[in-house]
Amino acid sequence: MKFSFEQLFKFTKSIFIKIGCPEEEAETAAKVLLSADLRGVDSHGVARLSGYVRLWEANRINATPSIKIIHETPSTAVVDGDGGLGLVVAPFAMQVAIDKAKIAGTGWVSVKNSNHYGIAGQHAMMALEHDMIGISMTNASPLVSPTFSTERLLGTNPIAVAIPAKSQPPFVADFASTTAANGKLEILKRKSEEAPLGWIQDKNGNPTTSPDGVKDGGALLPLGGDREHGSHKGYALGAIVDIFSAVLSGANYGPWVPPFVAFLQPDPNPVGEGLGHFFGAMRIDAFRPADEFKSNMDIWINRFRKAETISGQEKVLIPGDPERELEAERRSIGIPLLKPVEEDLRALGEKFGVEF
Amino acid sequence: MKFSFEQLFKFTKSIFIKIGCPEEEAETAAKVLLSADLRGVDSHGVARLSGYVRLWEANRINATPSIKIIHETPSTAVVDGDGGLGLVVAPFAMQVAIDKAKIAGTGWVSVKNSNHYGIAGQHAMMALEHDMIGISMTNASPLVSPTFSTERLLGTNPIAVAIPAKSQPPFVADFASTTAANGKLEILKRKSEEAPLGWIQDKNGNPTTSPDGVKDGGALLPLGGDREHGSHKGYALGAIVDIFSAVLSGANYGPWVPPFVAFLQPDPNPVGEGLGHFFGAMRIDAFRPADEFKSNMDIWINRFRKAETISGQEKVLIPGDPERELEAERRSIGIPLLKPVEEDLRALGEKFGVEF
């Protein structure tokens, strides 16, 4: 069943207003949340709306935060999200990075006391219209074991980098530092399919293909899967995201990151405040004339796009291609929602007196 | 056969002086090159010395470069390496990043017209003594195929991030954006062992376990190995390194990066100058007091170090642990060199009248 972007946007914005968000922030939050549905990251879009509401009901989200810069230099800032929606805190912080870059060449902002911020790529892409490179990362609820461990100490900690081109669409990489995102396991579960080896381990750290592996006490694996295939590199990437997002800002890190689901309690002895993000903006002409750079990005993109393919493969993709194509399609013919998600939204609407 | 650091350092420095490097630069180059041998990245150390000399003989390395900043803002710079040794250009550029960070909070330097710079981690670690986070990356000769392609369009493009702690040794991640580095294939070849699946593909893009796969027209695979295991993420990482290092600076990128081996000619129609690097330095106290940050890094490191292990695994490692332990060992009992490397150095010494 497909729904128009406009319908879902209006509904989502209304729900955020119902929980007390000021109108402008409700609009920002709805836009950020729905960018996930448009770009095909269905696990991070409206499917999570009722999850955010449950966190608010548990007094773990502040609908009227006073988001502010608590420390800064010409090219850096630390932002305190005051327990607000990450969907609102993140665009604020990314804007600070962009404003810093306008003057100092680059801007780098670490954020504490925030919540889950939707998809990483959406925030990085804010830089593009300013002829800047945008960078966005966040830590997240612990579901990932470092190489050799049975404990879940890291989130899927994504990294996004958005880079403008000239005639070509921008390069937009947005990926978890794990082999597969958690959302993919949910899809397999629904289809009653097994997961490929290298995605997850069971509670003893043994490879498993059960899509319930994580739920049953196992963990997602860092990109690489096992030591022989470079999982120590995925672990290092996830660790870097965690440290930049939370140790730099004063948020919770590692196993202390508060869980997204309201039925799990945050650690009673936190090491910081909320969860953390990290944003960067680099003005292209702080390095070389923007037009020259963007012409070279066109050459780069064209060369990779036209690369010879392995037999049976249609084409080599540029990061951001699949999401952009999906967004065009979904803006025109609508966003598909699974039945349980639709029912969940309908129930949410009834609860708050908002028509779905 | 083991050799003392001092002996190898003296020899290497003398060779660099013989090819015309000023004494101070010869010393820097020798120090950077040998940091690879100390830290166990044997493929990037003295084993490459004769390779650098052959590039110089082919007029592809300038022993007396005039390295300079050609563009800058408070937090950025572009450095022109003037065709010098990357081993000398990189420390110059990293120092520029550190100096920028002292004033603007962070410093970001993209470099063109350089050559191979040794191991990425060595440059990133320059930031540590200043209570800064150091970042270092470089592009390299094309040996890696993007997901779905048979063409070699990227180098192993490594990323290094060095982060200071308080009582704990620093966190130092330094890894190629491929499943396995090329040096590992050389080791397998010498032992006549097969490579694990997921490391390389043959010239048609099929998985292969032959350690000669790359030599025979195949390619190294991006971290992840194949699409199902996230190779598009390793490809994106390698691409980001390429773009930051070369499209931002005006160096060659993708398949145009000049080969390290002197018997392969650079592309007659280059898209830039030499190869490129990218460096970053972030002053910790541009975000929060350095002591507070470093105490939290200790907590982070201790928590991960004490994580429960999978049965049969001794401990969970912190990025940088194995290299640091190896460096302590090799500084005390010497650096092992393979017979062919030793013979190669001896021949080099005879050629230049330097005692090995």
Task: Give the Cα-Cα-Cα angle A294, A297, A303 (nearest 5 degrees).
Answer: 150
Positive or negative torsion for Cα B89, B90, B91, B94: positive
What number is the average pLDDT over the span A245-265? Answer: 96
B149 token code pair: 């392609």
What is the SS3 assignment for A175? strand
CA distance A155 to B11: 47
What local confidence, expressed as pLDDT, does residue B244 receive? 99
Chain B nearest C-alpha distance from A259 (Å): 18
Structural contact between residues A196 and A209, judged by C-beta atoms closer than 8 angstroms? yes
Cβ neighbours of residue B100 closer than 8 Å, sequence gap 6 or more:
B72, B74, B75, B76, B77, B106, B107, B108, B109, B281
Cβ within 8 Å, pair B179-A229: yes
What number is the average pLDDT over the span B103-119? Answer: 98
What local confidence, expressed as pLDDT, does residue B184 receive? 84
Element (H, E) at B34: helix B23-38
**CB proximity A205 to B under 8 Å:** yes
What number is the average pLDDT over the span A163-192? Answer: 91
Positive or negative torsion for Cα B299, B305, B306, B309: positive
Where residue A131 falls (left for φ over 0; alpha for ψ -120 to 50; beta otherwise) is left
Mean pLDDT score of chain B, rounded to an integer? 97
Q: Please say if the pLDDT value at position B138 is more than 90.
A: yes
From the list B342, B323, B330, B347, the residue with the least C-alpha distance to B1 is B342
> What residues are paired with B76 via a beta bridge?
B73, B108
Structural contact between residues A77 and B104, judged by C-beta atoms closer than 8 angstroms? no
What local confidence, expressed as pLDDT, does residue B53 receive? 98
What local confidence, expressed as pLDDT, does residue B315 receive? 97
From the list A92, A88, A160, the residue with the least C-alpha distance to A121 is A160
| Closest alpha carbon within chain B to A196 | B228
Cβ within 8 Å, pair A148-B310: yes
CA distance B58 to A13: 65
Q: Give residue-wise pLDDT tens across range A124-177.
A: 999 999 999 999 999 999 999 999 999 999 999 999 999 999 999 999 999 999
Q: Give residue-wise pLDDT tens across range B302-318.
A: 999 999 999 999 999 99
φ, ψ (nearest 5 deg) of residue A41: -95, 70
**CB proximity A220 to B under 8 Å:** no
Q: A258-272, B25-39, B49-63, B181-195: lowest mean pLDDT where?
A: B181-195
Cβ within 8 Å, pair A147-B239: no
What is the SS3 assignment for B181? coil
B345 token code pair: 């150095």
Domains in chain B: ranges and CATH: 2-289+323-352 (3.30.1370.60)
Q: Please say if the pLDDT value at position A186 is more than 90.
A: no
ipTM of the complex: 0.98
B84 token code pair: 């010098």
Counting Cβ atoms within 10 Å, is residue A95 exposed (0-12), middle (13-18) or buried (19+)? middle
Structural contact between residues B152 and B255, judged by C-beta atoms closer than 8 angstroms? yes
**CB proximity A147 to B under 8 Å:** yes
Cβ within 8 Å, pair A249-B153: no
CA distance B141 to A132: 27
CA distance A78 to B210: 50
Structural contact between residues B89 and B65, judged by C-beta atoms closer than 8 angstroms? yes
CB contacts, 8 Å: A176 with chain B: 233
What is the SS3 assignment for A52? helix
Cβ within 8 Å, pair B296-A205: no
What local confidence, expressed as pLDDT, does residue B106 receive? 98
DSSP code for B112: E
| Contact pairs from chain A to chain B, CB under 8 Å | 258
CA distance A260 to B57: 60
φ, ψ (nearest 5 deg) of residue A263: -80, -10
Q: Please say if the pLDDT value at position B92 is more than 90.
A: yes
- Torsion over CA of A75, A76, A81 and A85, rounded to 10 degrees? 60
Cβ within 8 Å, pair B254-A108: no
Structural contact between residues A252 and A111, judged by C-beta atoms closer than 8 angstroms? no
B189 token code pair: 């070849």
From the list A142, A170, A146, A136, the residue with the least C-alpha distance to A156 is A142
What number is the average pLDDT over the span A242-267? Answer: 96
* Structure confidence at residue B21 as a pLDDT band (50, 70, 90): very high
Structural contact between residues B171 and B301, judged by C-beta atoms closer than 8 angstroms? yes
Chain A nearest C-alpha distance from B287 (Å): 6
What number is the average pLDDT over the span A265-291? Answer: 98
Residue where the block lists tokens 């392969």: B264
User: For the whole model, what pTM was predicted?
Assistant: 0.98
Q: Please say if the pLDDT value at position B152 is more than 90.
A: yes
φ, ψ (nearest 5 deg) of residue A231: -60, -25
What local confidence, expressed as pLDDT, does residue B70 receive? 98
E strands, A61-175, are 68-73, 76-80, 106-114, 132-138, 159-163, 171-175
**CB proximity A183 to B under 8 Å:** no
> What residues are paired with B208 via a beta bridge?
B200
Q: Give residue-wise pLDDT tens across range B191-238.
A: 889 999 999 999 999 999 999 999 999 999 999 999 999 999 999 999
B12 token code pair: 């290497």
DSSP code for A178: B
Mean pLDDT score of chain A, rounded to an integer? 97
Cβ neighbours of residue A239 closer than 8 Å, sequence gap 6 or more:
A146, A154, B171, B173, B304, B319
